Amino acid sequence: MPYLFTSESVSEGHPDKVADQISDALIDNFLAFDPSSKVACETLVTTGQVVLAGEIKTDTYLDVQKITREVIRKIGYTKSEYMFEANSCGIFSALHDQSADINQGVDRLVDNNDFESKANAQGAGDQGMMFGYATNETDNYMPLPLDLAHAILREMSVIRNNEIELMPYLRPDAKSQVTIEYSDDDQPIRIDTIVVSTQHDDFADDATMLAKIKEDIINIVIPRVKAAQKVELHGLFTDNITYYINPTGKFVIGGPHGDTGLTGRKIIVDTYGGKGAHGGGAFSGKDPSKVDRSAAYATRHIAKNLVAAGLCDQVLVQVSYAIGVAKPCGLYVNTYGTAKVDMHDGAIAEKVSEIFDMRPYAIEQRLKLRNPIYSETAAYGHMGRKNEIVKKTFGSNGNIIELEVELFTWEKLDFVDKVKETFGL
């Protein structure tokens, strides 16, 4: 029987995402100057105020206020009328040293410098379970409802920052939601509903405002989103889509002035939009020794390579850890009955464990996670993004460094051949 499935996204100006971006900018700057940094940084944003709190173990010093203001400025909170503005907001830092009790289980001294010694010495930063998911319904192996929800807001961000004349009233805060009807064999049939709520400048007349914003979303944003999709998906964009555009009406008060933001409150937006599963641990503000982050990336890497290799149409991968222990407690695979090999999922999981080393140090090395690559993850999802090499510049105490780093390494399809070989595909 056909069914409906919904996913949502939020813009870089959403208060929770402002908090995520500040936390990850701090991570990047600490790693740029000291790759061995251990960081757990939480951020709270509200009217005219930013609070930074967390635990740090590092050999570098950063001007956290300057970094925070740069992030807020880049997002677009640059006007006093927003009641949260880069140059004038207060910034309170309560960052302090990491607990030595926790660190002793993560960093152990080794007698030699070889890979195995280091991999066995570095335990997981915490207990917990992490999930990765992939599906072949989109080119980037992401669930379509979430992919479209992200795409709508990315187009609006491009317009707000680079093509202002198209929709000059847009402000940074926005949310989207896409509902898709699927057939009983899990194929997308049509887009049922699109919801967009966007912060905007004040209008003289509320009715005129609502009509204008709805017209622009439907006639400017949606066609651009459709054009960016593969041709096979164009038929989903029919004239029968139900649109709810700013359904509550006026949305002038927004951002951290309209709603307090906290790091780690958009974990479903960050991952798979409700498809698959989530272990509960947020990503932003955590260095890669925290398996909440690194193992979630590693399981996505596994899932994407399994689907891309043709092993299955969709797959969920779970890994779990005990704090201070390098070897995972277990690896679980669920192919939802779509496996193309005559094997139970448990047997598939055993072979996957042989292909992918899931010890925390091995994950860090395989995915190059001790680099400053996290600011780019903090808005529009950590998964399904473009793997690319970029140059980034960081400054601290008069020291300027330029680094070449590889972004979204967990999106690489570099294990497809190995998976095919292992499973005889």
pLDDT at 111 exceeding the cut of 70: no
Distance, in Å, from the CA atom of 236 to the CA atom of 180, rounded to the nearest integer, reads 9
**Confidence category of residue 120, pLDDT binned at 50, 70, 90:** confident
Distance, in Å, from the CA atom of 267 to the CA atom of 382, rounded to the nearest integer, reads 10
- For the segment 157-178, the average pLDDT, to the nearest whole number, is 97
Domain range summary for the chain, segments of one domain joined by + = 3-10+144-255, 15-117, 128-136+290-423
State pLDDT tens for residues 374-387. Answer: 999 999 999 999 99
Least confident of 53-62, 103-112, 152-161: 103-112
What would be the CATH architecture of the domain defined by 3-10+144-255?
Answer: 2-Layer Sandwich (3.30)
**Confidence category of residue 99, pLDDT binned at 50, 70, 90:** low
Give the position of tokens 């979204």.
Answer: 408
pLDDT of residue 396: 76
- For the segment 99-105, the average pLDDT, to the nearest whole number, is 56
Residue stretches of the annotated binding site for K(+): 42
Closest to 175 measured CA to CA, from 8, 291, 337:
8
Distance, in Å, from the CA atom of 127 to the CA atom of 3, rounded to the nearest integer, reads 36
pLDDT at 226 exceeding the cut of 90: yes
Query: In whole numbers, what is the pLDDT of the chain averaged over residues?
Result: 94
Sheet holding 128-135, edge to edge: 128-135, 314-321, 330-334
Beta strands per DSSP E along 71-182: 90-97, 128-135, 170-182
Residue stretches of the annotated binding site for ATP: 14, 173-175, 250-251, 259, 265-266, 282, 286
Percentage of the chain exceeding pLDDT 70: 96
- For the segment 38-43, the average pLDDT, to the nearest whole number, is 96
**Confidence category of residue 123, pLDDT binned at 50, 70, 90:** confident
pLDDT at 60 exceeding the cut of 60: yes
pLDDT of residue 109: 58
pLDDT of residue 223: 97
Percentage of the chain exceeding pLDDT 90: 89
pLDDT at 100 exceeding the cut of 70: no
Q: What is each CA distance from 77 to 72, 84, 99, 265, 348, in whole angstroms? A: 6, 6, 35, 20, 49
Residue stretches of the annotated binding site for L-methionine: 55, 98, 259, 290
- For the segment 127-143, the average pLDDT, to the nearest whole number, is 96
pLDDT at 143 exceeding the cut of 60: yes
pLDDT at 104 exceeding the cut of 80: no
Answer with the residue of higher pLDDT: 125 or 348: 348
Distance, in Å, from the CA atom of 124 to the CA atom of 295, rounded to the nearest integer, reads 10
The three-state secondary structure class of 135 is: strand
**Confidence category of residue 117, pLDDT binned at 50, 70, 90:** confident
Q: What is the value of pTM for the model shown? A: 0.95
Residue stretches of the annotated binding site: 14, 16, 42, 55, 98, 173-175, 250-251, 259, 265-266, 282, 286, 290
pLDDT at 397 exceeding the cut of 90: no
Is the backbone of residue 338 left (phi > 0), alpha (psi -120 to 50) or beta? Answer: alpha
The β-bridge partners of 244 are 195
DSSP 12-50: TTSHHHHHHHHHHHHHHHHHHH-TT-EEEEEEEEETTEE
Distance, in Å, from the CA atom of 164 to the CA atom of 172, rounded to the nearest integer, reads 12
Write down the CATH number for the domain with range 15-117.
3.30.300.10
Asked whether 30 and 37 are in contact (CB, 8 A), the reply is: yes
Write down the CATH number for the domain with range 128-136+290-423.
3.30.300.10
Distance, in Å, from the CA atom of 393 to the CA atom of 32, rounded to the nearest integer, reads 9
pLDDT of residue 416: 98
Q: Please report, as a single letter, which amino acid is at residue 295.
A: A
Distance, in Å, from the CA atom of 7 to the CA atom of 91, rounded to the nearest integer, reads 33
190, burial (CB in 10 Å: exposed 0-12, middle 13-18, buried 19+): middle
pLDDT at 170 exceeding the cut of 60: yes
Q: Please report, as a single letter, which amino acid is at residue 73.
A: R
Do the first three CATH levels of 15-117 and 128-136+290-423 match, i.e. the same topology? yes
Residue stretches of the annotated binding site for Mg(2+): 16
> H or E segment at 74?
helix 64-75
**Confidence category of residue 290, pLDDT binned at 50, 70, 90:** very high
pLDDT of residue 196: 98
